[in-house]
Amino acid sequence: MKQYKSLTFPALFSETVEKFGTCNAMALVGQIPFTYNEVNSHIQSLIVFFEKLGIKPGDKIGLLSTNMPNWGMAYYATTFMGAVVVPMLPDFSEFEIENILKHSGAKAMFVSKGLRSKIDKIDVKTLQSKISIEDFSLINSVESSPKFDLTEKSVKDYHINEDDMAAIIYTSGTTGSSKGVMLSHKNICSNAISSKTIHPMDETDRFLSILPLSHTYENTLGYVIPMLAGACIYYLGKTPVPSLLISAFKEVKPTIMFSVPLIIEKIYRGKVLPSINGKAVTKYLYKIPFFRKKLNAVAGKKLKETFGGALTFFGIGGAKLNSQVELFLREAKFPYAIGYGLTETAPLLAGSGPAITKFQSTGPALVGVELKINNPDPHTEVGEVWAKGDNIMMGYYKEPEKTKEVLTEDGWFKTGDLAKLDKDNYLYIEGRLKNMIVGASGENIYPEEIESVINNFKHVVESVVVEQKGKLVAMVHFNHEELEQQYKHLKKEIENYVDYTVDELIEELQIYVNSRVNKFSQVQMVVSQVDPFQKTATHKIKRFLYY
């Protein structure tokens, strides 16, 4: 950290411009990138625009937009002048957006064209200006309205301190309650600097951004880190459907990417497994470890080529990675790495580079972060993860009581996650404290462990294990498309056959699971969940909806 003068966005960005001003900074795929000098010019002009709109340090500015270069420019312009950015996920409902704008007291907001309908009917008394993010023009402006002018540069000198609030991130977590996490300049900047030590990178690197920038994970790791390195970020500009991704991989040839488990799990189940199971001989050989490793190595080479052939780091976070998929990635020698963190920790707490990963571990504590297992179980060594460091949030906005619940007086943050540490201090997440079920004889049952077994069963997409009237019930979403494909030649009878097969699978699954878990973790009932489970931005299931 000592090499940086000040842990604030304007200070770090000015150093980047000084070193990498003429380097490519960000672009939509298929377009010419902005250089860091050009990005800086836009930021300075945006600050003048804010001044014309009467925005002052400490004011809150909402940001509701899909990923694009202007998203980052709006984010930096806001924080450079000491205002506070309030990013919102594009899939937030109109109700959530209105509540966030009211709760934060937003004075202005940016919105992208495709999301404008979500703010048409909102009524927020503090909101004075709505800005189109595509061209920084005022929405519903009149002739006399202030205008963005790229030739104008701010002459004011804004003094930003490390402990000044930079952002309020509203979580839409798996527990259902959305809180405003206050993150300071130091919280985010220190975390980006520490995270950057995990993997070497420089101005020649190309990032492909596919996760929402409004989520802390992509924001810190996929946006602030490349800025520190002088690297270039490419955005899809559209929903990351497979055809669009394949095209972007070919064009960008990314060296670094961040993802959630669901994306790589879909690739494994949708591309890798069918190519192996398509022939009887490879399907048989895949069951033998020696041949499985050989087949995975071949599939790994093809997978790397699919990603453009230049990938050196594929970060996975946001939820637990399926063990079967991780085994494939290891044997395929795919450059994956797993990290662990929360919005409240800006976000990374633990992680490692591809060369030193351990199976099913999120890696050791990040540089500058202290982790401990509080009150571990004497038999399993599992306890709640507590964390301390410069990246720990300032607190929940306007929620002092909720802040006290998770922050101790001596600075420890209670994550709510259950885990254990090995002899090398590598962290192994077992599940959420709130999800833990206490068995009839007082045993601790971790539903996530049971779900990881269920999710490796044939035709299973995802699952949730809950307690109902003292019994463990597994709600399972089967891949109906896959099953329908088996019976497509039957035409009219297809639906009956799929239903019959699901009934058979349920019986088979219960035996499969209960033979692989301990006695008190055995499921008493399996029910079919026809529709996919509702999820958060990082594709974690909103479990509270299914209790």
Token match 């050791």: residue?
Answer: 364
* DSSP for 133-185, written as a single string: TTTTEETT--TTS----TT----------TTSEEEEEE---TTS---EEEEEH
Q: Is residue 65 helix, strand or coil?
A: coil
In this predicted model, what pLDDT tens digit does every residue of 229-244 receive, in sequence order? Answer: 999 999 998 888 888 9
Domains in the chain and their CATH numbers? Answer: 9-138+155-233 (3.40.50.12780), 256-309+311-387+407-434 (3.40.50.12780), 436-546 (3.30.300.30)
Residues in the chain where the model's pLDDT stays below 50: 173-176
- Preceding amide of 347 cis, omega within 30: yes
Contact in structure between 50 and 129 (CB atoms under 8 Å): no
Contact in structure between 152 and 130 (CB atoms under 8 Å): no
pLDDT for 172: 60
**Run of H or E including 385:** strand 383-389
Contact in structure between 527 and 161 (CB atoms under 8 Å): no
pTM of the model: 0.89
pLDDT for 284: 94
In this predicted model, what pLDDT tens digit does every residue of 208-232 receive, in sequence order? Answer: 999 999 999 999 999 999 999 999 9
* DSSP for 403-457, written as a single string: HHHHB-TTS-EEEEEEEEE-TT-EEEEEEEGGG-EE-TTS-EE-HHHHHHHHTTS
pLDDT for 175: 45
State in Å, rounded, how far the first CA of the chain is from the last one: 44
User: What are the strands of the beta sheet with 413-421, ordered from one edge?
Assistant: 363-364, 426-432, 413-421, 383-389, 369-374
**Partner residues linked to 35 by β-bridges:** 24
pLDDT for 116: 96
| Whole-number Å distance between alpha carbons of 227 and 218 | 13
pLDDT for 487: 66
